[in-house]
A and B are shown apart, each in its own frame.
Chain A
Amino acid sequence: MTISIKARIAVTTALVGSVAAGAAAADTMKIGITQNNVGVDSYQTTYEKAFIAAAQANPDIEAVVLDAGGDVARQIAQVEDLIQQQVDAIIIWPTNGEAVVPAVRKAHSAGIPVIVTNSNIAEQGFEFAASFSGPDNITQGARAAEIMCEKFTEMGIETEAQIVQISGQPGYTTAIERAKGFEDRLPEVCPDVTLVETQPGDWNREKSQKVMEAFLVKYDDIDGVYAGDDNMGVGALNAAKAAGRDGIIFVGATNFSVGYEAMERGEYWGSIYQSPVDDAEAALKTALDVLSGAEVPFLNYFDTPKITQENMDQFDKPVF
């Protein structure tokens, strides 16, 4: 009963729409998004706000905004829901790059293009996704290596410096890529800098502080710390400050407001500027481009520039 009423209303609306606005009604696109875990950090919170704002600013878009709460099973169910709702495109922020592949394939076989946002899905899912929109974590890691190397060269210690790395959550693609980008680029630009040890800080400031405390005990000479994001970088900075070890160069791979503030205080050297607003808008734009049939590269990166104490006045303080 309910279903038929709904169906009739839909038909009527469609008719009215086509009569009143002609071709415009057909252009209204229903875009569904299932996000990873909104609220767990400010990046994801800001991303969601920016996404909703961008969708609302465009009258041709009807957005269905969902959040998987970090739960793979829930995200798969959400994709299935969106397929049922016959949305025009699905944007997914994978909770787990491997586990969501079957859901992406299902959407693909239902004829719905899937745009992966922020963190990519596993490679075996690439053929089912229309495009990936997000930051290039390998480039971020590589640029962080360049920042570190440029600073060491300026200080004249590029032939002897020893550094440690605090990486993100083990098994998380972003963590692996930011580490790989850094580890591959560093020997190219500064072949004599040694990365003595890498341990995970799990994206967690407190955990990174503990890890850094152990590093400080273990190594008498640490010239630089590379962290997968500024939250962890600032955790490491806190440990160094508490231990009274000055002169360490801290570089992160994503600039957070805590990192930005530490840069203002001159305690933290640099990072990579990644805006969740750019991220969200790029995802929506990619979806629109895919739907309009435009040529979209499969890996559709948005730019994430270097930020250091020297050029930070060109950037607004991150909101997260």
Chain B
Amino acid sequence: MAEMTKRDVGQFLARQGILVAFVIFIIGFTLANQRFLAVDNVLGVIRSSAILGVMALGVTFVVISGNLDLSVGSMMSFSTIVVLDLHDKIGPSLAIPAMFAMTMCLGALIGFLVGYLKLNSLIVTLGMLSAIHGLTLTYSGGKNMDIADKEGTWFSLFGQGSALGIPVPILMFALLAALLSLLLAKTAFGRKVYAVGGNGVAATFSGIRRARVVFLTYVISSFCVACAGLLQASRSMGSQNTVGQGLELEVLAAVILGGASLLGGSGTVFKTVIGVLILGFIQNGLLLVGLEFYVQYVVTWVIIILAVWLDIAANRGRLWSPIA
């Protein structure tokens, strides 16, 4: 009987190790500063994590299909700058679809290179990281982009508005997470993404058009990036060219924290959301605790490693690997 219970706990942990880690952090930070769980703080953290989160949703698809996307940071700078620039030129209602089209063209290009030409995704997207950064700088001439008339436009709705007391970025993040979760877990396409990442050769022999699936994961990723760019632009109504710089690694960290394997074939949208929230709450928690900021980088790393370790330990049911 006792052993049954132990195994039950073990199995629960195996499924939800990262969730347990998350709860431990929350408790820790709350003990350090009671304001941590105040409603306005929690909403604030989720709202600022939403931008990273939306990007991570798309990258989850790419990672599950066995590829990487290191271009999302510069691509987000690109969409932010483009939408801000076009806002003043052709108005928000045209600027937004135009920005989505341009961003998704970039995603389609990457998808074509990785999917149909079978080029290594690390190399393609690492190259795109610089190339898109260059494209953004060429487009803007290196200037900060700002919306001239910040009061007289409804564009601020996405980043600053709220409905039913919940900020719009959170609603968008939740909605996208729900939709993409359904797409990944409940549709044939979703199963193909897992199949391609789990065993590409087997997937091909089962009649899955691998190139097409990979192509689509990058299109989905760029769609999410466009949403993130929209949120970012609307939140600050102006931007530097480097706004998304470095985010690709944070996004990847969130996806991996959520338990998606870098080798492909595993991961879920829900766990990515948890990964995103862990990162967001760590950043916020360390600020609230008021730790010296040079120490924060180190502490962030320690917490991430702890979380990953807890997750892996839960998966194998023990703290140490049985095989040395």
Q: Are B40 and A243 in contact (CB under 8 A)?
A: yes
Q: Are B241 and A40 in contact (CB under 8 A)?
A: yes
Q: Are B144 and A200 in contact (CB under 8 A)?
A: no
Q: Is A302 interfacial (CB-CB < 8 Å)? A: no
Q: Are A257 and B160 in contact (CB under 8 A)?
A: no
Q: Is A39 interfacial (CB-CB < 8 Å)? A: yes
**Within the complex, which residue of B143, B144, B238, B290 is in contact with A197, where a contact is CB–CB below 8 Å?**
B290
Cβ distance B88 to chain A, nearest Cβ, rounded Å: 14
Q: Is A14 interfacial (CB-CB < 8 Å)? A: no
Mark each residue of chain B from 116 to 143: 1 if its CB lies under 8 Å from any CB of chain A, else 0.
0000000000000000000001000111
Q: Are B160 and A214 in contact (CB under 8 A)?
A: no
C-alpha gap A231/B40 in the complex (Å): 24
Cβ distance A134 to chain B, nearest Cβ, rounded Å: 20
Q: A45-B141, A214-B288 are in contact. Are A258 and B146 (CB under 8 A)?
A: yes
C-alpha gap A44/B144 in the complex (Å): 11
Q: Are A42 and B143 in contact (CB under 8 A)?
A: yes
Mark each residue of chain A from 189 to 216: 1 if its CB lies under 8 Å from any CB of chain B, else 0.
0000000010110001110011101110
Q: Which of B264-304 contact A (CB under 8 A)?
A: 283-284, 287-288, 290, 293-294
Q: Are A170 and B241 in contact (CB under 8 A)?
A: no
Cβ distance B247 to chain A, nearest Cβ, rounded Å: 10
Q: Are A41 and B232 in contact (CB under 8 A)?
A: no
C-alpha gap A41/B290 in the complex (Å): 30
Q: Is B71 interfacial (CB-CB < 8 Å)? A: no
Chain B residue with Cβ nearest A45: B142
Q: Are B33 and A170 in contact (CB under 8 A)?
A: no
Q: A42-B143, A197-B290 are in contact. Are A217 and B48 (CB under 8 A)?
A: no
Task: Collect the chain A residues with CB atoms within 8 Å of residue B324's CB.
Answer: none
Q: Are B40 and A242 in contact (CB under 8 A)?
A: no
Task: Collect the chain B residues with CB atoms within 8 Å of residue A257's CB.
Answer: 144, 146
Task: Collect the chain B residues with CB atoms within 8 Å of residue A44's CB.
Answer: 142
Q: A214-B288, A243-B40, A258-B238 are in contact. Are A42 and B137 (CB under 8 A)?
A: no
**Within the complex, which residue of B235, B243, B288 is in contact with A218, where a contact is CB–CB below 8 Å?**
B288
Task: Collect the chain B residues with CB atoms within 8 Å of residue A170's CB.
Answer: 293-294
Q: A211-B287, A217-B35 are in contact. Are A235 and B143 (CB under 8 A)?
A: no
Q: Are B40 and A217 in contact (CB under 8 A)?
A: yes
Q: Which of B36-67 contact A (CB under 8 A)?
A: 38, 40-41, 44, 48
Q: Is B239 interfacial (CB-CB < 8 Å)? A: yes
Task: Collect the chain A residues with CB atoms within 8 Å of residue B240's CB.
Answer: 41, 204-205, 231
Q: Chain A at the B interface: mostly helix, strand, loop or mixed?
A: helix
Mark each residue of chain B from 222 to 244: 1 if its CB lies under 8 Å from any CB of chain A, else 0.
00000000001001101111110
Task: Collect the chain B residues with CB atoms within 8 Å of residue A211's CB.
Answer: 287
Q: Which of B135-165 contact A (CB under 8 A)?
A: 137, 141-144, 146, 160
Q: Which of B63-103 contact A (CB under 8 A)?
A: none
Task: Collect the chain A residues with CB atoms within 8 Å of residue B243's CB.
Answer: 204-206
Q: Are A213 and B48 in contact (CB under 8 A)?
A: yes
Q: Are A199 and B293 in contact (CB under 8 A)?
A: yes
Mark each residue of chain A from 143 to 179: 1 if its CB lies under 8 Å from any CB of chain B, else 0.
0000000000000000000000000001000000000
Q: Are B142 and A256 in contact (CB under 8 A)?
A: no
C-alpha gap A218/B38 in the complex (Å): 10
Q: Is A95 interfacial (CB-CB < 8 Å)? A: no
Give the 8 A-B residue pairs with the shortest CB-CB distance, closest first.
Answer: A45-B142, A214-B287, A39-B142, A39-B137, A217-B41, A42-B143, A213-B44, A210-B48
A-B contact pairs, 25 of them (CB 8 A): A38-B142, A40-B142, A41-B142, A41-B144, A41-B241, A42-B143, A42-B144, A45-B143, A199-B293, A204-B242, A205-B239, A209-B236, A210-B48, A211-B287, A213-B284, A217-B35, A217-B40, A217-B41, A218-B33, A218-B35, A218-B290, A238-B235, A242-B160, A257-B144, A258-B238
Residues of chain A touching chain B, judged by Cβ–Cβ distance below 8 Å, are: 38-42, 44-45, 170, 197, 199-200, 204-206, 209-211, 213-215, 217-218, 231, 234-235, 238, 242-243, 256-258, 261, 320
Given A205-B238, A206-B235, 12 further pairs, Cβ under 8 A:
A42-B144, A170-B294, A197-B290, A204-B240, A206-B232, A210-B48, A210-B284, A213-B48, A214-B287, A217-B41, A218-B35, A218-B290
